[in-house]
Structure formats: structure tokens, C-alpha cells
Structure 1
Amino acid sequence: MEGIGKRPFQEEETNVAKSPRFEEHKFDLHPLGKYSGDCAVYKQPVELQSFSIDHERTVHFDDRQLKYYYPADLSNADLSVGYEDFIQRDENLKEHIDTLLDALTHYRSKEIDPLSSQADIVTWRGIITKILCTPYARDPFELGVTRYKDTIYIEEHETEFKRAQNQNQDARGRLMGFWGYRFESLSTVSSFPSKTDPVDKEELESRKSSVVNTNEQYCTVVRTRLGNTSIVMGAEVDCTSAPKNPSTNPLPNYIELKTSKLIHSDRDKYTFERHKLMKFWAQSFLIGTPSVICGFRDNDGFVQKIQKLKTMEMPRMVRGQKGMWDARVCLNFADQFLSWLQSIVTVNDPEHTYTVTFAHPFQEIKVVSSGKKHVFLTKRYLEGSTSEKIGGPRVGE
């Protein structure tokens, strides 16, 4: 990926005529045994940039939204408190990968080595998580893909299944969705707690009933490599265990916060390890987060136990168990799929997109060229500028 503005994309238009349009390509999942064996090498991620999004969805290239971990008080850990005041981000406003693109532009504006932000793939961590888990998942997804200056950019589309699921969610489901956000607020503070500067008692008390606003986010942008594929991805960060130091990589201090139902039976244990633990591992492993703090709650939404799960130990927790997932299969599958995707997405034109789908009966991933449908790179990204507001015209508008 070359520096912005160094080469006009019009020079690449000759590639368009050479590439077959609307031809469907398929990547088979099975047999999964072909993805076992020696594991593809995954390079330790390094943070390139971080940014904050405030309650008005305004972007700031600073750490104002970074939270610090401080354990929840189990004597009064009611996850339903404040639900009636819950402020949720408007999911109908499509934000694409706008903030990630702006973060990359901001990073490059600091005259840092341009090679440090080059990558074969640019996307959100959630999308790479889906790809990692695909060999064992039955969740449909649809992705939008475009190639610009030999870098492939990937965004997620809302599927009909997901849209119907959201529309048909009952009151209980919406409340349970809130529980995860409340656990985050119960487990974090705004300043680093230390012996010389302890946490303000008023903040510890107020966080029990503070308004949860999902417009607010803190995000990191990391660079890594899976096999021969270099990846730049953005990811939301729940909190950190230490103040950031410009001279060190902050990723090992980041912490994922999760909730899950208390485990009472072998069936509960299997469900947790087969599904949730795999996603916990994938999310944390991808950006080098060493641990997940999980609040195990009862059916009424009260946290009864808090457990620290180490990311690198999660694959060993399920190794050898029947019907479980294998981290090697996940990584090898993602490695081979991303290499294959680069051979299929050949049109070097930000106004040309491809659609990637994984759907029932979940035997293959399909890729089809979509022409100028669902163009998602921003015009300002190609121009090398940023905006504190998410949105704006796309390429070609």
C-alpha cells in the first residue's frame, strides 16, 4: 500500500477490462483436516495508532476514552441497573470503515516510515474474527471488499438474517444485550488507580448506576502478519491495566471484558467452551490481548463470579475434546482463505467492489464481483485528509 496521493488510481483502470466480472468463486471449508498440522505463523501485533470516539460520535486522535480496569464489586453487581437510561449507538447509520481509514491517514501524516502502515489487508478485527471462527461457526455473514493500490479493504454488510434477528429481538434479549455493556462500566474507571493516586470513591459509587452510552469508544489500530499476509486492523479496546507509554507497545496491557452465564452442568460447560471461548480467544489473540476478564452471571443478571482467562491457555482448555475447536485449524484456514482472496480480488479500483458471503448450508465461502455496488472507501481517504465526523462522500460521488 503506497502513500496516499503518490500514484493516481486512474493508472490502474487498465486492470478492470482484464478481470472477469460477476463470476462466482468458491472457497471450500471441508474437509477441515486439510487445515490441521503445522500452524501458520502469526506475528506479534504492534499498535500503530489509537483514537477515541465521544458521546456525539466525534473522533479524536487521543486517549480520552481509554478506561482502566478496576474489579467490579460483587456485593452489588446488578447488570440491569440503568437499563431504562441506556443510550445506544444508531446502528442504522452505516459507518463502514471510516474511522479506521481516518486513523491510518492521521498516522501517515506524522511522517513515520510509510512502510510501517502498508498491508495486504485493512479491516476491523471483528471481520478477521469471523474468518478465524468460520470452520466451526454457523453464523452467516456478508462482506464488502475492494482493492486500491494493491491493498484489499474489507467491511461488513448487514445480512437479512441479522436484520431479522435484530427486529425480532424480544425485551429479554435486549436486556441481556445491555448486561455486557453494564459489566464494562462496573469494571472500569477513568484514571489509573495507584497507591499514590487511588480511585475516587465517588466514581466507584457512581459507576454502579452511570448512564451506559455505546456511542463512546476507544479503539486501537494494529499491524500484524498471518503467514504471508500482512494485516492492519482496527479494534475496540475495553480497558487497560496500565497507563500508556509512548516507548512501549501497549497491547499487552489491554484487557477484554466479557459476560457469560454461570456454568452449572456439563452441557453449560460444553456450550461455553465450544462457542464463547472460541470467540474470546480469537478476538483477544488477534490484537495481542493477553487476558479476558469474564463476569459469570445468573439468570437475573447478577454477577456471581469474576474469572481471568488467559488468551494463550484457551486453546489448551479444549484440546483433545470431542466436537471442540482447534486454534491451528482456525489460523491455517484464515491464512489460506486470505491468500486465496487476494488472488480473486484483482480489480485495482476503489469504485469496484466484491461481495463475500458465507451462508447455509455453510460449506463454502463465495466471492462475486459486484461492479460499482456498495462502494465504501471515502473520498477523503484517497485525498489524504481526515474528519472528526464519521461519514461523508464515497469515492466517485
Structure 2
Amino acid sequence: MKKKSRTKEEEKFCAWGYKFEQYLLSDQPNSKPVIERPVIENEEFSLFYNASLGSHNLLYGAQIDGVITTNCEVSNPSKESNVESNLDYLRNNEYVELKTNRHIENYRQDRNFRKFKLLRCWCQCYLANLKGLLVGFRNQNGVVQRLQWFDTQDIVEYCQVSEITQILTRLFK
């Protein structure tokens, strides 16, 4: 969504999402998030990928929310590290996307979450080879009250199974 066309309400939801990321992510592994500092919405971490689609070579970038430091043997990159050690660190860890969503209170909201938001997030996660998606479900005041993890490899099935289950439930009542 373009920033210029956002409504005031959409801007508020985006700000809540950035603050959610700040509460859950730290600048360095094994350190606590710094939640007191103001959120910088333009701050981002991007990775670039190459792929082939038939005879076409693709180069694309993806904004990444967080690194899951799964490989303890690879040391954290430092400011003095060379490019190869930084790349080694990045190649040997996994990545995660964070999103917020309002609490789901009815079938229509659940269907729309799965059909639109979750599938769109799957595309983002799949193309960037992210391990998964962490969704914070918030109330109408922006307070996250529940977290749910979605593995990238399971999102499509999760979305389809839900739709079929809901239809069957209605048919056999």
C-alpha cells in the first residue's frame, strides 16, 4: 500500500505493527529489545535473491523483519567483520516475518484473514525463503494479546483446509 493513499486509521495500524516489531526484535542476538526509543519506520533490513523462471533470470529484494539465530556456531557479525563473514552469518540463519491483525471474532473475519492476508504473507515468506510468520492478534486499542506462529510450508494447506472445513460444517448441520 502506498503511504500517500493511507487513511489515518491505516497509518495507526501500521504504527502499531512497527511497535510490535520493536517489542519482539532486538538489534543483536541474545539482547533485549529496546522499546523506549522512538520507532523509525524507514529503518529496514533487506536481502536480495536471484532465481530463474524459464529462460528469465530474476533479481528481487525482500524486506526482512527478523533473523532467527539458529546456528550458534556462526559468530555474530561485528562492525569490523569482512563481507564474507557477514554473508556466512546471514546464510546460516533463518528469517521471520512479523504481522499484526485484529482479533478474529467471526467466520467472515477468519475467512478474510486466511484468504487474503495470510496467503499474501505466504507469498512474501515463500519468495524470501523465510521460516515462517509470527502474527500478533491485537484488540481495537492496538494491544497484542495473542501470538500465533505459522510455518511458511504449512500456510497454504492451513488456508485451504479451513475453507473446506467451514463449508462442510455448514452443509452437515
TM range (shorter): 0.7 to 0.9
Counterpart of 2:82? none
- Deviation of residue 234 (structure 1)? 1.3
Residue by residue over 1:195-243, the C-alpha shift from the partner in whole angstroms, topping out at 9 and shown as x without a partner, is xxxx2xxx54x41x32011232211111122344321111211110115
Distance 1:306 1:234 in 2: 27
* Amino acid in the other structure paired with 2:144: V
- Deviation of residue 247 (structure 1)? 3.9
Distance 1:252 1:309 in 2: 18
* Amino acid in the other structure paired with 1:232: L
Aligned to 2:153, the other structure's residue is in SS state helix
Moved over 6 A (4+): none
Distance 1:229 1:274 in 2: 30
The answer to which of 295-304 and 250-259 deviates more is 250-259
Partners of 2:68 and 2:93 within 8 A in 1? no
What TM-score does the superposition give when structure 1 sets the normalisation length?
0.35
Partners of 2:99 and 2:135 within 8 A in 1? yes
* Amino acid in the other structure paired with 2:115: R
Q: Tell me whether 1:301 sits opposite 2:142 in the alignment.
A: yes
Q: Which has the higher contact order (CA 8 A, sep 6+)?
A: 1
Unaligned runs of 5+ in 2: 70-75, 78-84, 165-173
Distance 1:221 1:264, change over 3 A: same
Q: Tell me whether 1:190 sits opposite 2:27 in the alignment.
A: yes
Q: Tell me whether 1:234 sits opposite 2:61 in the alignment.
A: yes
Matches within 5 A, 1:133-282: 163=4, 165-166=5-6, 169-170=7-8, 172-193=9-30, 199=31, 203-204=32-33, 206-207=34-35, 209-242=36-69, 243=76, 246-247=87-88, 250=91, 253-282=94-123
Unaligned runs of 5+ in 1: 1-138, 140-157, 194-198, 323-397
- Deviation of residue 252 (structure 1)? 5.6
Counterpart of 1:389? none
Distance 1:251 1:314 in 2: 23
Bigger share in helix: 2
Aligned to 1:277, the other structure's residue is in SS state helix
Counterpart of 1:286? 127
| Cα root mean square deviation, aligned | 2.4
Aligned to 1:315, the other structure's residue is in SS state helix
* Amino acid in the other structure paired with 1:216: E
Partners of 1:240 and 1:254 within 8 A in 2? yes
Distance 2:112 2:45 in 1: 30
Percent identity (aligned): 23
Distance 1:254 1:295, change over 3 A: same
Aligned to 2:145, the other structure's residue is in SS state strand
Distance 2:110 2:92 in 1: 29
Aligned to 1:234, the other structure's residue is in SS state strand
Aligned to 1:278, the other structure's residue is in SS state helix
Counterpart of 2:169? none
Distance 1:247 1:178, change over 3 A: closer
Partners of 2:98 and 2:134 within 8 A in 1? yes
Distance 1:262 1:219 in 2: 29
Partners of 1:251 and 1:287 within 8 A in 2? no
What TM-score does the superposition give when structure 2 sets the normalisation length?
0.75
- Deviation of residue 254 (structure 1)? 1.1
- Deviation of residue 296 (structure 1)? 0.8
Distance 2:94 2:21 in 1: 16
* Amino acid in the other structure paired with 1:181: Y
Distance 2:93 2:150 in 1: 14
- Deviation of residue 264 (structure 1)? 1.6
- Deviation of residue 248 (structure 1)? 6.8
Partners of 1:185 and 1:212 within 8 A in 2? yes
* Amino acid in the other structure paired with 2:29: F
